[in-house]
């Protein structure tokens, strides 16, 4: 039995020299330069939860990108303008976004500095 496996083993060792490409390597020219990490990509703001409490005082909170925020608070360039039952209005990068629990953010209009949080 070992005599049958020996030729297969030798053939497998010789395969890279026979011009067969390694299937786990990316195509030529696609490799990133060594030693330079890829720049971090900024993802779209993601709303995962809303705690809405109607009544006196502003107790509503929204969980955006893993952080609980109240109206008027700011984190990483994202400012919460208003929290409602099913949506949150934010300002990020000079643009106003509406985050809903149902889907991705939608851009509404440029934010105005006179707008109250």
Looking at residue 80, what is its pLDDT?
95
How far is C-alpha 90 from the chain's CA centre? 17
Q: What is the pTM assigned to this prediction? A: 0.53
Encode pLDDT of 39-92 as tens digits: 666 678 889 999 987 666 678 999 999 999 999 999 989 999 999 988 999 999
Encode pLDDT of 15-46 as tens digits: 555 556 677 777 777 765 666 666 666 678 88
3-state secondary structure (DSSP) of residue 5: helix
The four Cα atoms 109, 64, 71, 117 give a dihedral, to 10 degrees, of -20
């Amino acid at each position: 039995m070992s005599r049958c496996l020996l030729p297969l083993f030798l053939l497998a060792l010789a395969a890279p020299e026979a011009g067969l490409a390694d299937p786990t390597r990316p195509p030529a020219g696609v490799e990133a330069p060594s030693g330079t990490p890829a720049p971090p990509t900024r993802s779209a703001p993601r709303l995962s939860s809303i705690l809405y409490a109607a009544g006196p005082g502003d107790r509503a909170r929204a969980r955006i990108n893993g952080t609980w925020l109240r109206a008027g608070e700011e984190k990483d360039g994202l400012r919460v303008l208003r929290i409602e039952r099913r949506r949150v209005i934010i300002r990020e990068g000079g643009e106003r976004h509406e985050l809903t629990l149902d889907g991705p953010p939608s851009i509404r209009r440029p934010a105005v500095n006179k707008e109250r949080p």
